[in-house]
Copies of this chain bind each other. A is one copy, B any other.
Amino acid sequence: MSLAEYFPVFEKLTAEQQKKLLAVTQYREVKKGTVLHDGNADCLGLVIVHEGQFRAHMTSEDGREITLYRLFDRDICLFTAACIMRNLQFDVTITAQKDSKIWIIPPVYFRELKETSAPVANYTNDLMATRFTDVMWLIEQIMWRSFDKRLADFLLEECSVEGTDQLKITHENIANHMGTAREVVTRMLKYFQNEGMVALTRGTITVLDHQKLEELLEL
C-alpha cells in the first residue's frame, strides 16, 4: 500500500523528485457522495484511487446528466488537475460512488513534475489518451447504438462492477448515467422484464438472464 506502487511513473523519477513527491502527496478518505471536482474552477490535483469508485459526468443546463467514465482501484484522475492544462476546457463533475481512499498530488507540484520530467509528461499523455478513448466510445454509443443495447450493456457492466445480479439502483440514477430521461429507462426496463431478462422490485433490478442480454448486444 504505497504510492510508489500505485503511481506507475514513480520509478522513472529522480531520487530527489521521489522524496518530494512522497512529502507533498496527501492521503485522504472520502465518503460516498463526496464531490471531488465540479467544473473547471476546482483544482484539487492529480488523484490516484487507492480503493473505491468514482464517476465522472457532465451536466446540461437543465440538470440532465451523462456518465463519461468511472474510476476504480489504481485508476488515476487527471481532470481534478485540469487547471494546470490550459487547453482542457470543459466542465466535468467527479463524485465518489463508494467510500473511497485516495492520494492527491497537489496541482502546483504536479505541474512542476510534468514540466521538468518527460516521463511524467508522457504519462500524463497516456492518461489523457485513455479518457479520450472512453469518451470516443461514448460518442459512438450515443450516435449509433440503440437504447436497448446501451441499457443491456450498462446492466451487465453494473453486475460485473458490483459483483452481484441484484442491483440497488434507481431508474433515475440509470437515466443520469446514460444521459436520458427516467421514463425512457423505465419503459425499456419493463420491456426487459416482459422478456424475462430482468425482474423489477422496489429499489432493485435483478438480472435474471445474462445470456439473453448478451445476445441483445450481438444483434
A residues neighboring B (CB under 8 Å): 58, 60-62, 64, 66, 85-90, 114-118, 121-122, 124-133, 135-140, 142-144, 179
Contacts and interface: CB of A to CB of B under 8 A. Distances in A.
Oligomer copy total: 2
B129 A88 contact: yes
A60 B137 CA distance: 12
Nearest to A128: B128
Given A121-B125, A143-B179, A144-B61, A89 B133 contact: yes
Contact of A125 (B85, B116, B137, B138): B85
Contacts of A122: 114-115, 121
Contacts of A89: 133
A109 to B, nearest CB: 15
Given A125-B121, A128-B129, A139 B137 contact: no
Contacts of A142: 139, 142-143
Contacts of A87: 126-127, 129-130, 133
8 shortest interchain CB distances as A-B pairs: A121-B121, A87-B129, A90-B136, A60-B144, A88-B129, A118-B118, A87-B130, A87-B126
A66 B124 CA distance: 28
Nearest to A88: B129
A111 to B, nearest CB: 10
A118 to B, nearest CB: 4
A64 B145 CA distance: 12
A122 B122 CA distance: 8
Contact of A86 (B121, B124, B126): B126
A90 B133 contact: yes
A185 to B, nearest CB: 15
